[in-house]
Amino acid sequence: MLLLLLFFQDEWLKQLRVKVSNFFDWIFTNRAIPNLVDLLQNGERTSQILGQISHENERFKYQTRQLNRQIKHISTDYCNLISITMELVETLQQAIVGKMITNDYIDNVCARLGLARLQESILHRPGSASIGLVCRFLCFVFC
């Protein structure tokens, strides 16, 4: 019985009030909102940002595919030009020795180089007369 009396004295009640008051003050003070709660509260803004990021991601993927195609095309052209250059050097060596170069061979090389297409595209472009003359000269020399 004496123990019960100690629990319910005025001092114990004051201590309990102070502890509960301190606890409530700690809970209801302005603390920083956790990031997860902030994201949940600002869901509409977050979805807009995610939509923008997704759109940019798709645009970058498309640009990457386009650039990869261009790189592949340029790489193929480069390999073809190296091959044609080696073949022309060998043909020049054979011509120096005295072997005859046929017109069919030269036409084949011009077709592989695309000089005929180059001549067509340049000649039909307005304001390209000087370029057209150079192209005609190249086609005359090579074709």
Is the pLDDT confidence value at 69 over 90? yes
Q: How many other CB atoms are there within 10 angstroms of residue 4's CB atom? A: 7
Alpha carbon distance 139, 113 (integer Å)? 11
Is the pLDDT confidence value at 129 over 50? no
Sign of CA dihedral 75, 80, 81, 87: positive
Domain edges within the chain = 47-99, 102-143
Count of helix runs (H) and strand runs (E) in the chain: 7, 0
Is the pLDDT confidence value at 135 over 50? no
Q: Write out the H or E segment, with its range, that includes residue 123.
A: helix 115-123
Q: What is the mean pLDDT of residues 27-51?
A: 75
